[in-house]
A = this chain, B = another copy of it.
Amino acid sequence: MAEIRTLHDAVAELVHDGDTVAMEGFTHLIPFAAAHEIIRQGITDLTLVRMTPDVIYDQLIGAGLVKKLVFSWGGNPGVGSLHRFRDAVENGWPRPLEIDEHSHAGMANRYVAGASGLPFAVLRGYRGSDIPERTDTVSTVTCPFTGEELAAVRAVNPDVTVIHAQQADHDGNVQLWGLTGVQKEAALAARRVLVTVEEIVDELTPRPTGVVLPGWAVTAVAPAPDGAHPSYAAGYSVRDNAFYQAWDPISRDRDAFRKWIEEHVHDRSQAR
């Protein structure tokens, strides 16, 4: 069964320098609180995996903790660019950022392969695109029945996957609902799984669209109320679109970014 931990302790125990970390949540349920705890603890040299890096990885990249990014769409959804991501790729600030870039279908299937204990997945994808020229995790396989050539993508198996869910019970069984994205696959592909939750409840009530991860498939659960903000947790909060828009000028400017992180992340130490 999963251990119930404080966010500080869970991050300290599960996330290490040099790890490959996936923090998933497709717009919904993005684990911002855990990312901020990683920043506070200065866990560095990370390889970050995520379909949509979003503001969460813009912050980790800008904080200088990221060596490599594995992703498929790196924008601020509905707003524009992720400026810290661009600054790292284009100018190497605050450090050079290696990238492994895919399409969404490719990334989703890399997680599926990882969750399935397979070394690769097959898809109809990448045909005619220049993407495979810049990565060694796309190849081809030939169908042994039809002779058709299809794309193959290498499985992704993070050292640790971090997701945010609405609820867990005291045994560490977790339930998330609403848009559940690729979280199940990301969690099951990982060696260790950390789930932050809005709240711990006595009993999980099955929900429509509910995805349940049994406690024995989770390493640790940490309460983090509103831990997805400025993303959201259906049933608990709504997406803070104004924050996403306000992030644009903050992230455009290195000093404004540093000041924001100082004020909103470092100075807000997590209760232990």
* Chain A contacts to B: CB under 8 angstroms: 117-124, 137, 139-146, 148, 150, 152, 154, 206-210
Contact = CB atoms under 8 A, between A and B. Distances in A.
16 contacts: A118-B122, A118-B123, A118-B150, A119-B148, A120-B122, A120-B143, A120-B144, A137-B145, A139-B144, A139-B145, A141-B142, A141-B144, A143-B152, A144-B152, A145-B154, A207-B208
The oligomer's copy count stands at: 2
A141 B146 CA distance: 13
A250 to B, nearest CB: 38
Contacts of A148: 119
Contacts of A150: 118-119
A139 B143 CA distance: 9
Nearest to A155: B145
B124 A143 contact: no
A235 to B, nearest CB: 13
Nearest to A207: B208
Given A140-B144, A208-B208, A209-B210, 4 more contacts: A119-B146, A137-B145, A139-B145, A141-B142
